[in-house]
Amino acid sequence: MEQQWTELKATAKAELLDTLVAVMSMIDPALVIEDFRDIGPDPVYGELLDDSILNADKTKCSVSLYLPAGSEQAAYAEEFIRGRFAALGVDAELNATVHGQGEWENSWKKYYHVQHIGKVTVLPAWEEYSPKEGEVLVTMDPGMAFGTGTHETTRLVIGMLQDYMFKGAKMLDVGTGSGILSIVASKLGAEYCAAYDLDPDAVRVARENAEKNGVTNMECGVSDLLSSVKLPAGGYTLVCANIVADIIVRMLPDLGAYMAKNTVCILSGIIETAEQQVLDCLKSCGYRVIERRTEKDWVCLAVTLG
């Protein structure tokens, strides 16, 4: 039987493109983006582009991704995206369309390869790999996970974790998705990892990935931002939140209550155009930035109180 694929296509006002990309890249970094704002009446374009592109609505943009049709992954992804849009107040139309196999046969796998991020190696479940001495190996299945180590935001946090993790740390992972960051933290020496997400299906996936990696000190739970997060004795000694700028801003006023003295908080998922919004909120809430890293258009900040 021919393999079929579900196309999830989000359409919104063109100025919301960065937000659409930020949300949908949490599912899959291989996105198809339609943004026609740079297409003008230049006759050179007229010779190269057909009328459907030249006459496209430049006030709208679309972002699409492709997942195996009929799979739990496709259903979870659609629900996850709708939930993120609702939480952010994004007015976007999300359509699911099933396509035949054609050129899409196994094409999603070509976007996932072994990822080397410092001493951490993220391995797709279907690939064989012999780790070198000192490597921290994390096995992920992109077919079931919201976060595989391929996206810049995840890579930035994994890089920061290697510098700020210490043996015995109690880590809080807000918006855990696939659980990859907590799994990495555990393997880097964390004593305890609390992985929370507002999506129950993401929490289930995180538990499965923890089991796949033999991680037993990771607690997964459902939480709307920080409303139901359990506080360990003395507070969390390391925090990470790889989400989007708008949610980070909403979360920051409440986050300090969960942090122990000198706790470092790693914030990622911040597109450069939204960085100042986050910086302003950090300042008003009493945080200071101790390190800033970037990859392409994404920013990752390490901050602490005081």
10-residue stretch averages of pLDDT, the chain, 306 residues long: 81 94 88 80 40 75 89 87 93 89 54 84 83 89 57 92 96 92 96 92 88 95 87 91 92 93 95 95 97 94 95
- Distance of alpha carbon 18 from alpha carbon 254, whole angstroms: 26
Strands (E), the chain: 5-13, 32-35, 60-68, 93-99, 115-117, 120-124, 136-140, 170-174, 192-197, 218-222, 236-242, 259-271, 287-295, 298-305
Looking at residue 48, its pLDDT comes to: 38
pLDDT value at position 41? 53
Say if residue 89 is in the same domain as residue 20: yes
Q: What CATH number corresponds to the domain at position 53? A: 3.30.70.120
Q: At residue 203, what are phi and psi to the nearest 5 degrees?
A: -65, -40
Tell whether 98 and 184 lie within a shared domain: no
Q: 55 is written with which tokens?
A: 């006459």
Domain membership flag for residue 144? no
pLDDT of amino acid 200? 85
CA distance 126 to 142: 10
Q: Supply φ then ψ for residue 211, to 5 degrees.
A: -65, -40
Is 157 inside a domain boundary? yes
Query: What pLDDT sits at residue 44?
Result: 35
User: Which structural domain range is residue 20 located in?
Assistant: 5-108
Is residue 295, in this structure, part of any structural domain at all? yes
C-alpha 80/C-alpha 109 separation (Å) is 21
Does residue 204 form part of some domain?
yes
- 74 with 159, same domain: the answer is no
Same domain assignment for residues 254 and 161: yes
172 and 87 in one domain? no
Residues 185 and 247 in one domain: yes
Phi, psi of 141 (to 5 degrees): -115, 100
Q: What local confidence, expressed as pLDDT, does residue 181 receive?
A: 96
Domain end: 92, 108, 124, which one? 108
- The answer to whether residue 141 is domain-embedded is no
Domain contains 168:
yes
| CATH code of 246's domain | 3.40.50.150
- What are 216's two structure tokens? 């037993």
294 and 159 inside one domain = yes
Count the neighbouring beta carbons within 10 Å of the beta carbon of residue 114. Answer: 14
Q: Answer yes or no: do 294 and 163 share one domain.
A: yes
- Residue spans of alpha helices (H) in the chain: 17-24, 43-48, 51-54, 72-88, 152-164, 180-187, 200-212, 245-255, 275-284
pLDDT score recorded for residue 83? 93
User: Between the CA of residue 113 and those of 43, 126, 127, 142, 203, what are the distances in Å?
Assistant: 41, 10, 8, 10, 24
Is the whole model's pTM more than 0.75, yes or no? no
Tokens representing 139? Answer: 């096995």
pLDDT at 72: 82
* Residue 143, in any domain of the structure: no
Strands 236-242 and 259-271: parallel
- Residues 45, 167 within the same domain: no
Q: Are residues 216 and 104 in the same domain?
A: no
Say whether both 101 and 183 belong to one domain.
no
How many structural domains does the chain have? 2
Give the end of a domain, one of 108, 143, 160: 108
Taking CA atoms, 184 is separated from 4, 21, 121, 139, 237, in Å, by 33, 25, 10, 10, 16
